[in-house]
Structure 1
């Protein structure tokens, strides 16, 4: 009702709708856990393209199976991945550099700059400092350059005063994806390059001969020539432009860009001269009596300060991948992520010990069961044929789960780093096929068959025949096959619990559809908690759950000609008794009739005598 009615007339009030909808959750967001070149340790990061993976995790490296798996995932139709970088505990180190200040006339360390993440990649970072700010006597600028990756960051107007609004720790640590800093003193770090003394209001005579040395190359030039340079500089800014033009006109050493790319900046009444190079050895030095008279060498530093000491660390072992649930490391870091549907551990296939591999898989399977995730298992790389696969499959009895699926054999692709053919575990590419199938047909379509082509795959490490496929399929091993015209593809849709002796009803599409329905209902019915537990609530639950399931039925997720044959939702006094109500329990029973894949297609042909009249 309107809160106040003060005059005769018509009042309009908008009422909120009591109808809630259950939205379908994602089906193919894939988590990759393992070693990468860079990135935050034990923290899930979502990426939506391989280019983003390269920027955040350093791209491909021969020491990481994860990078290749992610590359194959996006190449086969994957859309969203979650990456968890794992390294052996205590082995990786961050690159760092300590910047000094001579403002107090004696050099002292004032600012530590660390790579934001451990790894050798941090040794490619370069730091440049200048004081070209509106307050050149109190603030400074910090520039971060990734010499290998090409990323650049600039932070301007920084202060070493912790009470300043642009305190260096606050600004850089919150805004940089490359570094973090720690202030050691209140003095500012010295600028990079060569800095002059302050010039007087009236510039000195500039028609002097100067000698400049960058690295081991020395050149001489006349600073100002009236016949060639026109009017003399009127202020420090014009002097900076003149000096920069003179330096850039000097010949470089072959293949170098130190003189040609030199930069001269005026700030306050001073000049900063930086070589056009990222080589810390390319220090600009002005030599001779004339340079001393002009005060061109008050402070001499490299053009950039290089970070040193970064180490990648040793590859993660089984304990590192399994991680700790209390500290949320390794696999357990995925407990903080809501939308993960598939899990790939491509490094496991290279383990020499089947026991170590299965130990990690057991921990992963438990996580998947708790978080409604589907585990993609790569066959060990040691399985060189059908006989070794049949002999080795017994090691996986501990993970005979309907939440896990195993694929054999490995893929042969061209390595983008070397251009040579190389074997790779298949889980990354298969996850991409699942994502592509989900987008085109839905999670209830088996990610197998002639539509499940493996893009970019040249061949398979083991070429299987129909008879050999028939030996592995009853054991719950999904085979990758090569067929004429179509090429390499996925040719199996059984979970590890789908071996013939186990007689599991859960094949890959049925299990993935059930996980999808369970997670969607779990999230969509959160509003029910603490609502009055009566017939009105039960009716709303039936309405919303039925509307969601009916939408899936219309898309072809269930078998049956009518909704009654495809699914049911029961929530009433039969499912929720008075005792349940007293205990605060509401029971919802949902049944679905999933569409099962046609794994065996039998065509019977009978020879008939005589002729048929088809009119």
Structure 2
């Protein structure tokens, strides 16, 4: 700052403190089969309505769909869904649009559903030339099977140099379809399109025969006594013809005539039936129709997409996927914020070996990405004895970043209204999210506050004695308590078996540690390439301590003072001259997480005598 005259000068200096922000704790990933959606691509959804739009909602074949429904129903806020299908299965619905502008029909554009699945076969395309430039451009509408318009693209051109090139505009703007231009010329309009009318309309007091589908009717196009003055232009002719068609008697249960639409564009008419049934093609028959040019291009009212197939349910290999191709579980490598992982389809596997194979692959990803895995007990475990007998199969995957929950949930299936068993991991993830929001990630997602919403009962009703047999083995039990309902009544990881004596015994301790690790990992990125000296070390200590002190004040650590709760060490003891020469700075962070009060012991002693007041 330059000083030019006597006085007080003020200069604002940037703060040297870099805040370490807490990362998310309960974004849950679901991997498995869904009705629709992009294959092997993670999609973030923030409500079940969002899931329905992107993945087609509930279907009896999708355990993931129900798990996501239960996740949001129990307090979840954000999910990441990866759709997986069996390799080599699943087809996209498609159709090919043709053009007769060159007098012989030839294919000009193929339209595919954007994702594989039967859902794509419900899509319909409507094409018209009612644009500002009706001789060069066209409009494309994507409809549902019920006729409702889903998407509309106007003023499209087949010229690659045009600003509204059909392939470019549709592929960039559509969430439903993709288009490929394969020829020259515009797609023919849907429906029946007349030849061009001259400036002066011909005589219209003629008898016409029209056939829609298999229903044939006759009518007078213009009756001077009833219709008054004849139309003066093509637009007025379109209104007259539409009124006449809609007045014709329809077939029982049909609205082909009653909903007929006639559009004027340029000097032509386009006539379509009020139906999305491709069989309801409008045909004008006879010599009079030919004289009026109504026996021209004849197409169905819509062009249906066909051939969509959902594909076979994914097997273990499909869910594990390929790391190089980022398929299956490995699709999550492209997502930064994922804290929990649910694989609800595993509970239905007949082979425990297949289940362990997928869990093992999931654990490798979870360790690398600092994700906590919520595992469902096999659906074949029908009582405590079967759990104790089958638990040895989980010995190879006893990991501190995995928790196992038993038994399954009995809930009303929204599709059928009947009780059905569901794997609990989706609902558990929702409970974790709700607990994190209300209390913090350091609070165990268990206890009377961890109620399972919508649960009618449990597939196995456990007693306290049976719970006492499974809890020391690292199995988290779900219980039904009087006046409370169904709750999560266990908070141990798979390393939480008493015999293992692991430091990662509790779910809350492991999740808090993962949260701290990820927050520090992201919050200290600025350190890279900074001068490695005392000034840097002091700044690291300051930033990390400020972040940990915030957690301490919120109740994440035990101890009466910050000194008892955590420490951050970064100095010449942790970073030697050798480390500096190698470009390494070592930061040692220690925390004392609070552990859940798993066993509450109340001792009562009866005393003799009287109390003095």
Q: TM-score, normalised by structure 2?
A: 0.97
Displacement of 1:150 in angstroms is 5.7
| Aligned residues of 1:72 and 1:429 also touching (Cα < 8 A) | yes
| Aligned residues of 1:169 and 1:181 also touching (Cα < 8 A) | yes
Which of these residues, 151, 154, 162, is aligned with residue 153 of structure 1? 151
Q: How does 1:201-600 map to 2 (within 5 A)?
A: 201-506=199-504, 507-600=506-599
Which stretches in structure 1 are left out of the alignment for 5+ residues?
A: none
Give distance in 1, aligned partners of 2:303 and 2:30. 35
CA 148–407 in structure 1, closer or farther in 2 if over 3 Å, else same = farther
Displacement of 1:6 in angstroms is 8.2
Give distance in 2, aligned partners of 1:396 and 1:331. 20
| CA offsets 1:489-537 (integer angstroms, 9 cap, x no match) | 1100000000111112221000010011100000000000000111111
Displacement of 1:230 in angstroms is 3.2
Displacement of 1:560 in angstroms is 1.5
Give distance in 2, aligned partners of 1:108 and 1:237. 30
| Aligned residues of 1:55 and 1:149 also touching (Cα < 8 A) | no
Give distance in 2, aligned partners of 1:148 and 1:446. 48
Which of these residues, 120, 131, 148, is aligned with residue 133 of structure 1? 131
SS in 1 for 2:594: coil
CA 48–236 in structure 1, closer or farther in 2 if over 3 Å, else same = same
Which stretches in structure 2 are left out of the alignment for 5+ residues?
A: none
| Aligned residues of 1:192 and 1:304 also touching (Cα < 8 A) | yes
Q: How does 1:15-94 map to 2 (within 5 A)?
A: 15-94=13-92
- Between the two proteins, the alignment pairs up a number of residues equal to 612
Displacement of 1:249 in angstroms is 2.2
Give distance in 2, aligned partners of 1:246 and 1:52. 44
| Aligned residues of 2:146 and 2:276 also touching (Cα < 8 A) | no
CA 213–481 in structure 1, closer or farther in 2 if over 3 Å, else same = same
Give distance in 1, aligned partners of 2:80 and 2:295. 51
1:187 aligns with 2:171: no
Give distance in 1, aligned partners of 2:378 and 2:575. 49
Give distance in 1, aligned partners of 2:161 and 2:433. 51
Displacement of 1:251 in angstroms is 2.5
Displacement of 1:13 in angstroms is 5.1
Give distance in 2, aligned partners of 1:445 and 1:552. 12
| Aligned residues of 2:141 and 2:149 also touching (Cα < 8 A) | no
SS in 1 for 2:245: helix
Displacement of 1:8 in angstroms is 8.6
CA RMSD of aligned residues (A): 1.5
Displacement of 1:592 in angstroms is 1.1
CA 482–242 in structure 1, closer or farther in 2 if over 3 Å, else same = same
| CA offsets 1:135-160 (integer angstroms, 9 cap, x no match) | 11111111112327966111111111
Q: How does 1:4-23 map to 2 (within 5 A)?
A: 14-23=12-21
Residue 172 (structure 1) aligns with = 170
| CA offsets 1:549-607 (integer angstroms, 9 cap, x no match) | 11111111111222122111111111111111111111111111111111111111111
Question: Is 342-351 or 245-254 further displaced after alignment?
Answer: 245-254
Residue 601 (structure 2) aligns with = 602
| CA offsets 1:115-152 (integer angstroms, 9 cap, x no match) | 11111111111111111111111111111123279661
Residue 95 (structure 2) aligns with = 97
Give distance in 1, aligned partners of 2:13 and 2:221. 80
Give distance in 1, aligned partners of 2:561 and 2:410. 46
CA 230–150 in structure 1, closer or farther in 2 if over 3 Å, else same = closer
| CA offsets 1:342-375 (integer angstroms, 9 cap, x no match) | 0000111111010011001000001001100000
SS in 2 for 1:380: coil
| Aligned residues of 2:147 and 2:276 also touching (Cα < 8 A) | no
Give distance in 2, aligned partners of 1:388 and 1:612. 53
Give distance in 1, aligned partners of 2:376 and 2:299. 53
Displacement of 1:7 in angstroms is 8.6
Give distance in 1, aligned partners of 2:197 and 2:236. 13
Give distance in 2, aligned partners of 1:560 and 1:7. 56
| CA offsets 1:163-215 (integer angstroms, 9 cap, x no match) | 22211111111111111111111111100011011111111122222222111
Residue 113 (structure 2) aligns with = 115
Give distance in 1, aligned partners of 2:512 and 2:587. 18
